[in-house]
Structure 1
Amino acid sequence: MSMLSRTKVINALEKKREQFAQYQRELRAQADLRSRLLARFMAMESETIAAQVKASGQEWPGALPTPEIDRAEALRISLGEGWRSHQEARRWALAVLEGHPVAAVDGSQIPPSKELSAPVAAVQIGWYLNYHVAGGRYEKDVRFEVLTPDELGDEESGDFPDWRVNQRRFALECEQLIALMERLSDEGVARKSLCFFDGSFIISFAGQMRPGRAEGYLDAVRSLLEASRRLAAPLVGFVDSSSSRDVVMLVNTVAGPPYMSLTDGALFDPLLPAWGDRTPFFICARNDPLSQSGLAEFYKDVAFCYIRLAMDRPPARLEVPRWVVESGCGDEVVARVLGECIVGAGGYPYAIESADAVAVLRQNDREQFYALFQQFIEQQGLPFHLSRKSLSKQKRRAS
């Protein structure tokens, strides 16, 4: 029997009618402002935009232009392909990917549990590598690491918080991608390859952390970007749903006031009407606590664009090391991302989906890990016990 009262829901909504109406009015006002500011922005060439940014004195104006702006039509670069069926699109994708290795890495974790007498956590990194050669040659594998009490302990709180596990997982994902790039380089196919990072290289979240906790993330991203440049191995950070405002800040800087408060995805959504449409690449110059404190010099080593991968949601954000764009292979890398999305499902790269499937740790995996850990601890002659809450759970599941 439903406990939701239809009458009370309708009455509660009616009481807030004006707030919802005001929200709609604000959206319309933002849309009008967006049109005016974009018209000013799109009338400028890349050199003019760069000069305006310089004149503003803003060191971190959100984003910086690349010459691609001058070849774009209304900030849109079309894929230029028209398929009559999914079969035609798939043939195009397989041709684009043929002979070009694609790799992706993802991670999963088991956090420390207060139900166990001995603190322990684990991180599993999975990867998928497809060489896209005749006859098929691919690899799926995992790397598993256990974190001990001394690796988990927090000197400030004396507790065993999750942040150390989160940081270790992030670092291992980057380490594994570097290892794959080095391997592809040794095989002589690094330049032809494409490696996916599931997420953003612009780690603003680390700027909100307590002192001493951001360094692990910063070091990992710097090493990843440096390895891509050193090995000439194209790398893509894939952000399916971005709330970034980097380009909005740039437009506000050179075309405002007044100023927009949209996200980049909302800014570009109407400008990319067809599947595969993308924006020109921009250089990232995000203004956040990391860049303001001089810790994010690598932000400007990252270029990004937005691309239409699904008609029912805003464009996705693609990030690449700056050298990819400056070497002239931006179009080629984007085409391979699109190829992976066609081979995959729902506008998501197949390689990332595959790495996620390999890496994921489900509840039964966690329970198996705890059982193996208990067996290991007892073999060492060390005390081990579960909390009463955990024992109660086990009894209920067994009954």
Structure 2
Amino acid sequence: MLDLTKLAGELPGISQHLKQEANASRVRLERAQELLSLARGRQEELVELQKKWRDRTIFANATPIEPLNTRIEITPTPTQHTVFATDGSQISPSHHEIAYCYLINIGRVMLHYGQSLHPLLDNLPEIYYKPEDLYISKQWGIRTDEWMGHCRTVSEAKALAEMACQWVKPPGAHYLTPNLAMVDGSLIYWFLEGMPTEARDRLLLPILDAWEELRQTKIPLIGYLSVARSSEATNFLRLQACRYDTPDCLTHCANLDRLPCQIVDPLRDTTLWGNLLQPGQRGTLWRSSAKILDLYPESLRTHFCYVHVGEEIARIEVPQWVIEDADLFNQSLSIVLGQVYKGYGYPVALAESHNQAVVRSRDRAHFFALLEQQMIRAGLRNVGTSYKEARKRSSIA
């Protein structure tokens, strides 16, 4: 049990630290706004420098594909439209449970607006217990619980494409009702960059296949990031802040503890664009520079922009094929904004897919109770949790 009396003595120090951080953030923000103003006048020059010296730059910086002062009002949401979303949850494997296995539960949501159709709200649970499921990741030095999380991401993408493409008309047809597929989080799988090739392909290729199916069916895909921590866009301003003629970090600054251009670091993109955008506006469209995107097909390369959704600045990520169709891109943003308004600050489809997927403590208990009954029926003996697990679930104090 947490002793709040003892904890109270630590709180004043935290408050003072946060106050100091707020003051420092305000200084960084003012400097970033100055750099942004200067960069607007030489944007094309900076993009050329970025392109030429990218392999010598040691920080991730996105490329603006629109003017840095872009501010666009998002159009009203179409009266008739359909939104698809998936999210996942899991029961992690434990040697202290009655059986060493794990469960992945995928929540699915399909919401129709202005069409007098019933929504779909359900979930797809699946148990993994075979040796190839539990131990295959060991050969790559990846823990089973970590691998389970990656497999959940794959299952979310496959379930989203299957649900959406089965509902929407066949490819090539003319769609009268706009559609949108949404995922909670990024479309850029940074965690795959350092993974062995065989393991990475087992995860990335099925995801890209699912996204390609959405593209073929002309269902736009959106990744919604709330409280995004990325600095990809503000890092572009470090090219403006560079004191050298060329941004050759490996030559000029390789031996320095702190790069001279880090005057705006750490400053999140959302902090800067939160002071530039009005509610209902989107900012500049950017092309991400993440190295993992080199493995994506050109049509699925991730772009992003920041949108003032009223309660916060959200990062919206889309595949390249979506932004190539300006009407489709604008329509997708309008549906996203409508979802945020309907969800009182967060997209209602994503919130509901999470609610469908989440595995609560009582669900976990019911799952293992059902598993125990099945094992006993199968003639297994000595079925039960470890003594350690049994004692942790009760107290004699």
TM-score range, shorter chain: 0.7 to 0.9
The 5 A counterparts of 1:52-201 are 52-58=49-55, 62-66=61-65, 69-70=66-67, 74-79=69-74, 96-150=77-131, 151-153=133-135, 154-156=137-139, 161-186=144-169, 189=175, 192-201=178-187
For residues 249-276 of structure 1, the C-alpha deviation after alignment (integer angstroms, 9 at most, x for no partner) is: 222235534343122112212111x211
Q: Which residue identity lines up with residue 330 of structure 1 in the other structure?
A: F
Q: CA–CA distance in 2 between the matches of 1:190 and 1:263?
A: 39
The 5 A counterparts of 1:38-49 are 38-44=36-42, 47-49=44-46
Which residue, out of 351, 356, 359, partners 1:358?
A: 356
**Which residue does the alignment assign to 1:3?**
5
Q: Tell me the percent identity.
A: 24
* 3-state SS, counterpart of residue 152 of structure 2: helix
TM-score (normalizing by structure 1)? 0.80
Q: CA–CA distance in 1 between the matches of 2:284 and 2:89?
A: 33
Query: Is the Cα–Cα contact under 8 Å of residues 78 and 276 in structure 1 kept in the other structure?
Result: yes
Which residue, out of 267, 271, 291, partners 2:276?
A: 271
Q: Which residue identity lines up with residue 284 of structure 1 in the other structure?
A: S
* Structure 1 range deviating more: 130-139 or 20-29: 20-29
Q: CA–CA distance in 2 between the matches of 1:316 and 1:349?
A: 11
In angstroms, what is the RMSD of aligned CA positions?
3.3
Query: Is the Cα–Cα contact under 8 Å of residues 115 and 386 in structure 1 kept in the other structure?
Result: yes
1:51 is the counterpart of 2:48: yes
* 3-state SS, counterpart of residue 356 of structure 2: helix
**Which residue does the alignment assign to 1:309?**
309
* 3-state SS, counterpart of residue 109 of structure 2: strand
Q: Which residue identity lines up with residue 283 of structure 2 in the other structure?
A: T
Identify if the C-alpha distance between structure 1 residues 234 and 246 changes in structure 2 by more than 3 Å, giving closer, same or farther: same
For residues 106-161 of structure 1, the C-alpha deviation after alignment (integer angstroms, 9 at most, x for no partner) is: 11111112222421111111111012233343111211110014111254599973
Identify if the C-alpha distance between structure 1 residues 351 and 217 changes in structure 2 by more than 3 Å, giving closer, same or farther: same
The 5 A counterparts of 1:243-392 are 243-253=229-239, 256-257=242-243, 258-259=261-262, 260-261=264-265, 262-272=267-277, 274-286=278-290, 290=292, 295=295, 301-311=301-311, 313=312, 315-328=313-326, 329-345=328-344, 347-383=345-381, 384-392=383-391
Q: CA deviation at 1:318?
A: 0.4
TM-score (normalizing by structure 2)? 0.80
**Which residue does the alignment assign to 1:84?**
none
Structure 1: which 5+ runs fail to align? 81-91
Q: CA–CA distance in 2 between the matches of 1:130 and 1:20?
A: 41
Q: Which residue identity lines up with residue 82 of structure 2 in the other structure?
A: P
For residues 291-345 of structure 1, the C-alpha deviation after alignment (integer angstroms, 9 at most, x for no partner) is: 6xx546669711111111244x4x1100011111111122211111011111112
Q: CA–CA distance in 1 between the matches of 2:298 and 2:373?
A: 45
Q: CA deviation at 1:4?
A: 3.2
* 3-state SS, counterpart of residue 99 of structure 2: coil
Identify if the C-alpha distance between structure 1 residues 370 and 37 changes in structure 2 by more than 3 Å, giving closer, same or farther: same
Identify if the C-alpha distance between structure 1 residues 229 and 48 changes in structure 2 by more than 3 Å, giving closer, same or farther: farther
Identify if the C-alpha distance between structure 1 residues 131 and 13 changes in structure 2 by more than 3 Å, giving closer, same or farther: closer
Structure 2: which 5+ runs fail to align? 244-260
**Which residue does the alignment assign to 1:88?**
none
* 3-state SS, counterpart of residue 330 of structure 2: helix
Identify if the C-alpha distance between structure 1 residues 228 and 63 changes in structure 2 by more than 3 Å, giving closer, same or farther: farther
For residues 201-229 of structure 1, the C-alpha deviation after alignment (integer angstroms, 9 at most, x for no partner) is: 11112335567543343224422432232
* 3-state SS, counterpart of residue 309 of structure 2: coil
Aligned residues: 366
**Which residue does the alignment assign to 2:200?**
214
Q: CA–CA distance in 2 between the matches of 1:148 and 1:5?
A: 42
The structure with higher relative contact order (CA 8 Å, sep 6+) is 2
Query: Is the Cα–Cα contact under 8 Å of residues 283 and 300 in structure 1 kept in the other structure?
Result: no
Query: Is the Cα–Cα contact under 8 Å of residues 29 and 271 in structure 2 kept in the other structure?
Result: no
Identify if the C-alpha distance between structure 1 residues 342 and 62 changes in structure 2 by more than 3 Å, giving closer, same or farther: same
Query: Is the Cα–Cα contact under 8 Å of residues 106 and 173 in structure 1 kept in the other structure?
Result: yes
Q: CA deviation at 1:2?
A: 5.3
Identify if the C-alpha distance between structure 1 residues 28 and 240 changes in structure 2 by more than 3 Å, giving closer, same or farther: closer
Q: CA–CA distance in 1 between the matches of 2:119 and 2:21?
A: 50
